[in-house]
Structure 1
Amino acid sequence: MQVEEQAAGDVIRRLRRAEGQLRGVIGMIEEGRDCAEVVTQLAAVSRALDRAGFKIIASGLQQCLAADETDGEAVAGGTAGDGAPRARTADLDQLEKLFLSLA
């Protein structure tokens, strides 16, 4: 599963913003700024990275749902024991693991 093109652009913008924030945090530390200020900015960087990760996962979920609609849930290779296509089930399992890794 790949990141959809439009979502990739959004994710890249978020990551570049986070990169700039992180450079700012490094500069703050080098300047000897107050710990509270540094930690506040570091938390902002962390949230920005989390949002980028969630955007990637959301894009994957949208792809899975769109594939279900266009395929009528029919996937080459058969279905899992519960009737769900194997590929879709594997994709959803992978997305769940990625989502939980951000928690």
Structure 2
Amino acid sequence: MLLSKEDLARKNAIYDFDRKIEEMHLQIQRYSQGAENRLPDWERLEMELLHFSRKKINDLELAKNLERVQYKFQNRKKIWLRWIEETHHSAGVEKEST
């Protein structure tokens, strides 16, 4: 199947989102373990993905791939929020004990 230039650009963008989700996962994991001091901007990635997903995609395979990436993001977001909450909770407990 030959992809148009638009579809190829969309395919690459979807791949980039998938890669960014993986990178964000590792960054937030490092943050939750105390290896990084600044919380990565996962909300910006969410907004970019949301904005991209509003564009109409006619190719069924690309649409399914985008749906898979959105599902992956939502699952990872749940994990990230749990890690962030645990990190802030443990930091609060440490402050109280000192």
Instruction: Give your verdict on TM over 0.5.
Output: no
Give the number of the structure with larger relative contact order, counting CA–CA contacts within 8 Å between residues 6 or more apart.
2
Q: Greater Rg, structure 1 or structure 2? A: 1
Range class of TM-score, shorter chain: 0.3 to 0.5
